[in-house]
């Protein structure tokens, strides 16, 4: 797979991710909705495959697992570019909406579907999980 590249709105915070994603999909949990709109388009990558370029700020909050998840965003434009969570050590989740070529995003599932908004329609053929699916 070619290198995925992306940035925040102002371009001050960039990322490059090489190799195959661990997962690609949409999250409809309340926290992810508040980061974007009705859902968050997420690409999970091994941490060693992601390079972050530029300054960022972080915000941490406990997730449903009781473990912390940290959102990393640009201090200039506020664009949320990537996440890291204690529940998934060694994984960086990049925001697919920030890709230079957004067509590289190939979602394979929807998580937290139980929190979906009535007006937020995602491809009905994608497998759905009511909450976080089991690891593996």
Whole-number Cα distances in Å, 115 to 25, 71, 93, 132: 15, 20, 20, 12
- Tell me the backbone φ, ψ of residue 128, rounded to 5 degrees: -120, 145
Pairwise CA distance, residues 10 & 79, whole Å = 8
Pairwise CA distance, residues 130 & 73, whole Å = 27
Instruction: Say what the pLDDT of residue 136 is.
Output: 57
Find the mean pLDDT for residues 82-98: 96
pLDDT beyond 80 at 123: yes
Could you list the residue range(s) of the whole structural domain that residue 12 is in? 4-114
Q: What is the CATH number of the domain that holds 98?
A: 2.170.150.70
pTM: 0.91
Note whether 110 and 130 are within 8 A (CB): no
8-63 pLDDT, tens digit per residue, is 999 999 999 999 999 999 999 888 888 877 899 999 999 999 999 999 999 999 98
Beta-carbon neighbour count of residue 121 at 10 Å?
10
User: Is the residue at 12 inside a domain?
Assistant: yes
More confident residue, 65 or 6: 6
Instruction: Say what the pLDDT of residue 64 is.
Output: 82
Mean pLDDT of the chain: 93
**pLDDT band at 129; cut points 50, 70, 90:** very high
Beta-carbon neighbour count of residue 17 at 10 Å?
24
Domain count, the chain: 1
User: Is the residue at 59 inside a domain?
Assistant: yes
Instruction: Say what the pLDDT of residue 32 is.
Output: 85
């Amino acid at each position: 797979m070619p290198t995925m590249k992306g940035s925040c709105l102002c371009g001050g915070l960039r990322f490059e991710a090489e190799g195959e994603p661990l997962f690609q999909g949409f999250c409809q949990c309340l926290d992810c909705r508040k980061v974007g709109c009705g859902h968050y388009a997420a690409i999970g990558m091994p941490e060693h495959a992601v390079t972050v370029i530029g300054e960022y700020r972080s915000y941490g909050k406990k997730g449903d697992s009781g473990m912390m998840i940290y959102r990393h965003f640009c201090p200039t434009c506020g664009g949320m570019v990537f996440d890291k969570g204690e529940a998934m050590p060694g994984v960086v989740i990049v925001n697919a909406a920030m890709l230079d070529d957004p067509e590289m995003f190939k979602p394979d599932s929807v998580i937290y579907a139980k929190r979906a908004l009535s007006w937020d329609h995602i491809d009905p053929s994608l497998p759905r999980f009511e909450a976080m699916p089991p690891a593996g």
